[in-house]
Amino acid sequence: ESPHAGGGATLTGESLLFTELFPIRTEGVGRLYAYMPIWDGDASRSGAKLAHYLRRDLGGQWYWLDSRLITDTPPNPARALMTIDALRTEHPGLFAALTLIEEDLHWRATPEAVAAFIVRGRLADLDGHFVEALNRVAGTIKNARVVHEPYARTWVIGGQPAVALAVITRVVYAQDVTTFARALPDVNALAGLAVVEKLTGREGNIVKVLGTVADQRKRLLQRKRLREWMGMATDDMLALRVVVGSETEDYPANALDLCITPETASHFDVIPGQVERALLLKPDERARLVKVVADIAKDAGLIGDAYSQRNLPDLFKQAAPRLSAIWGGDKVRPYDPRSSSADFAQYGLYQRAPRYETEPLRLAVLNAQGDVADIFVEALAREFERAHPIKLKVVRTRSVQVLTPENLQTAVRALAKSDADVLLACLPDAALMDPAAPGQFLKAQAVGRALPALILYE
What is the reported pLDDT for 317?
A: 67
The three-class DSSP label of residue 238 is strand
Please state, in angstroms and rounded to a whole number, the distance separating the CA atoms of residues 238 and 274. Answer: 29
Q: One digit per residue, pLDDT tens: the chain, 458 residues? A: 333 333 454 444 445 566 789 999 988 788 899 999 988 865 455 788 899 899 999 998 899 988 899 999 999 999 999 999 999 999 888 888 888 999 999 999 999 999 999 998 889 899 999 999 999 998 889 999 999 999 999 999 989 999 999 999 999 999 999 999 989 999 999 998 999 999 888 889 999 998 888 888 888 887 877 888 888 888 889 989 998 877 888 999 899 999 999 889 999 999 999 999 999 888 889 999 999 999 999 999 999 999 887 777 777 666 667 789 999 888 999 888 888 888 888 888 888 888 888 889 999 999 998 888 899 999 988 888 887 778 889 999 999 888 888 888 889 989 988 888 999 999 988 777 766 678 888 888 888 888 899 998 87
What is the reported pLDDT for 302?
A: 93
Contacts of 371 (CB under 8 A, 6+ apart): none
Task: Give yes or no for a contact between 254 and 232, defined as CB atoms under 8 angstroms apart.
Answer: yes
What is the reported pLDDT for 14?
A: 44
179 phi/psi in degrees, rounded to 5: -60, -45
DSSP per position, 346-398: HH--S---GGGGTSPEEEEEEESSTHHHHHHHHHHHHHHHHHS---EEEEEEE
β pairing state of 203-212 and 324-327? unpaired
Q: Global pTM? A: 0.61
What is the reported pLDDT for 34?
A: 94
The three-class DSSP label of residue 255 is helix
What is the reported pLDDT for 425?
A: 92
- Three-state SS string across 101-152, please? EEECCCCCCCHHHHHHHHHHHHHHHHHHHHHHHHHHCCCEECCEEEEEEEEE
What is the reported pLDDT for 397?
A: 92
CATH superfamily of 352-457: Response regulator (3.40.50.2300)
Please state, in angstroms and rounded to a whole number, the distance separating the CA atoms of residues 451 and 448. Answer: 8
Please state, in angstroms and rounded to a whole number, the distance separating the CA atoms of residues 362 and 359. Answer: 9
DSSP per position, 82-105: HHHHHHHHH-HHHHTTEEEEEE-T
420 residue type, one letter: A
Residue 369: burial class (beta carbons within 10 Å; 0-12, 13-18, 19+): buried
What is the reported pLDDT for 12?
A: 42
**Annotated domain spans of the chain:** 33-108, 352-457
What is the reported pLDDT for 163?
A: 94
Task: Give yes or no for a contact between 286 and 19, defined as CB atoms under 8 angstroms apart.
Answer: no
What is the reported pLDDT for 319?
A: 61
